[in-house]
Structure formats: C-alpha cells, structure tokens
Amino acid sequence: MGSIRNIGVMTSGGDSPGMNAAVRAVVRTGIYHGLGVYGIRRGYQGMIEGDIFKMATTDVSNIIQRGGTILKTARSKDFMTEEGMDKAFEQLKKHNIDGLILIGGDGTFRGAAQFFERHSIPAIGLPGTIDKDLSGTDFTIGFDTAVNTAVEAIDKIRDTAEAHDRLFVVELMGRDAGYIALNSGIACGAEDILIPETKTDINDVLDRIDADERRKKAVHIIVVAEGDDFGGAKEVQECIVKRFPKLDVRSCVLGHIQRGGAPSYADRVLASRLGHAAVEALLKGNTQVMAGIVNGEVVYTPLTKVVKEFAPISADMLEMIRVLSA
C-alpha cells in the first residue's frame, strides 16, 4: 500500500447520475483495504473550509440508486488561487489525508493538475459528467442516464407534435459538447440535430423544413444543444416562424431535468467499476491519472492529457444523421 493510509473522496462541478455509486465503490474498496476514507463535502470549496468527515460502510448504504451526490458539489473560485490551494492542503494534512479520489469533469481535473504541481498529493480522477466530453474514456458517469432522460422526454414531445401537426425545437444540455443532443436526436429520429462541434447553417435547416412541408411530413423534431453557435431553441424557433409564419412551431428547454433521476444500470456499473479501480490504482502508486473505460477495459490517462484533448464527434455519426432523417 506504500504511504497511502487515508484517502479523501469528493464530487465536484456539475452533478451527474451515478456519482453516488462511485462514492460507494470508493468508500467500500478503501475500507476493504484497511484505509481510512474521508468524505469531502462541496468539492474544492469544502476542502478549503475543512468540511471533511470520516466515512463508514454504512454511510454509503442505500445510495447506489440515488441521483445527485450525498457529498454535495460546488464550483470554487477560491481554489484557483494559491491561497485557496494552500488552505485546502492544510485541511488535508489536518485530517491526515494522503491520497484523493476526485469525481468530476474537466474543471475538476484542471484544478487537480494545478494542485498537484503545488503540493504533490497523489490523486485519481473519475469522469463524472453528463456531457461525455472527456478523452480517455468511452463513457462518462451520468451520460447514459442523461441521454435516456432526454430520449424519454423527446418521445413524449413527438406524441403531442404528431397529434397537432406541430414542429418542435427541443433544447438539450451541452454548452461546449453536443454528445447528449447527438445521441438523443439519433435515438429519437430527429430531423435535425444542431451541436457546437459543427457550424449551423440555418438556411439549410429551413430548406429541409420546406422540403418536409412540400411532401406533407406531419412531424418535424429539431434537437439543439444549448451551446450551438446559432443559438438555443428560442432563437431557432424565431427563425423558423419568420420563414414559415403559418407553421405551428413550439420550443421546449429540458434543462436540469437531464441531471437528475436514478442512474441507469449502465451508469451504476460504470461508476462501481471506476470507483473500485481508482482506489486500487492509488494503492499501486498511480497518481494524476483519470480512470476510464476504453473498449470495455479500465485504462488510466494522465490528467494533463485529459484536460488538453477533447473527445471528438464521429464524422460517421454526423453523416448518418443526414441519411436517416431524409
């Protein structure tokens, strides 16, 4: 086990379904190996303020099926200062914590990389984000649940769209990455999917609507990620109404409903595998890496690489959208 005797676990940044399952796996794996496991509430901000407590196996009973995170989460501007990092390190020393498991996304890992440069405490990251925008893993904890939530909602929207011959523009989360919109749109048979990774030509979108109207297609669903370069659902709706004033056009913003709810089976298993793997890696001397799943196997990618590389959108999937929505 080397010098690791006590580990801290925290969730940081945006919450995602499956974070609790990851916390459970970390706590129980750590205790199995005879480690002291400490929960850090509210991410880096809680670390600075010393909101830290020792955890037992009973603390993680009956949480694997719960959304959100029992450790709470927050974004901390204070931690991005040298003074904030020094205060956080002092709190870790006060609790004799000599290893960290960090569950979060890009911002969490950037903070960890900077913290390590200043204080060199061993740390393993777990990809907890609904956006699936991290390299080094095929899936992130929470993505599968978020997509299933979006798919269920869009399916219901399609029912009412068909009943009224309406065109719906549905806005999904994805400020910088369009994975939720892309996968949800494909799964729901959306006629158009607008994402940040590709430049949106609104005239192309309008021309496709015109073609659908000419062949009397009853339902038209457009899925747009909130970070699309043209704008969100309202902007797209306004543009459509201007071109087609007789069309019944509605918009719907799903918002934070995509973050909540019980995690899917896939997210529970993923979180459990990665939580267990993170503790095992820490005990073997690994540090400053993110545990991920690639081709079904656990892999470890340096945090510095994870935060520099963006998981690319498949060109084949983009082409498939055009073919299947015709």
* Tens digits of residue pLDDT in 42-51: 999 999 999 9
Give the pLDDT mean for 183-202.
Answer: 92
Ordered structural domains, the chain, with CATH: 6-142+263-308 (3.40.50.450), 145-259 (3.40.50.460)
Q: What pLDDT was estimated at residue 326?
A: 61
What is the pLDDT, as a whole number, of residue 51?
A: 97
Q: How sure is the predictor about 315, in pLDDT bands with cuts at 50, 70 and 90?
A: confident
Q: How many CA atoms lie within 13 A of 35 on its CB side?
A: 29
| pLDDT at residue 43, rounded to an integer | 95
Poorest-confidence range of 136-140, 210-214, 216-220, 248-252? 216-220
pLDDT surpassing 50 at residue 1: no
Provide mean pLDDT across the span 165-188: 93
Cα 112 from Cα 307, distance rounded (Å): 10
String of DSSP letters for 156-215: HHHHHHHHHT-EEEEEES-SS--HHHHHHHHHHT-SEEE-TTS---HHHHHHHHHHHHHT
Q: How far is CA 71 from CA 12, 40, 42, 140, 321, in A?
A: 9, 7, 6, 19, 39
Active site residues: 131
- Looking at the DSSP assignment, which residues form a beta bridge with residue 36? 6
Single-letter residue type at 92: L
Q: For residue range 132-154, what is the model confidence (pLDDT) as tens digits?
A: 989 999 999 999 999 999 999 99
The terminus-to-terminus CA distance of the chain in angstroms comes to 58
Q: What is the pLDDT of residue 176?
A: 87
Range of weakest confidence among 34-48, 89-103, 197-211:
197-211
325 confidence band (pLDDT: 50, 70, 90): low
Q: Is the confidence at residue 157, as pLDDT, over 60?
A: yes
Q: What value does the mean pLDDT of the chain take?
A: 93
Give residue 4's pLDDT.
92
CB 145 within 8 A of CB 273: no
Report the candidate in 118, 110, 124 with the shortest Cα–Cα distance to residue 281.
Answer: 124
Note the pTM of the prediction, 2 decimals.
0.93
Kindly give, in sequence order, each residue whose CB lies less than 8 Å from that of residue 273, ignoring residues fewer than 6 positions away: 25, 293, 298
Average pLDDT score over residue span 156-180: 93
Tokens 């719906």 label which residue?
A: 168
pLDDT > 90? residue 216: no
pLDDT score recorded for residue 213: 83
The answer on pLDDT for 61 being more than 50 is: yes
pLDDT at 137: 94
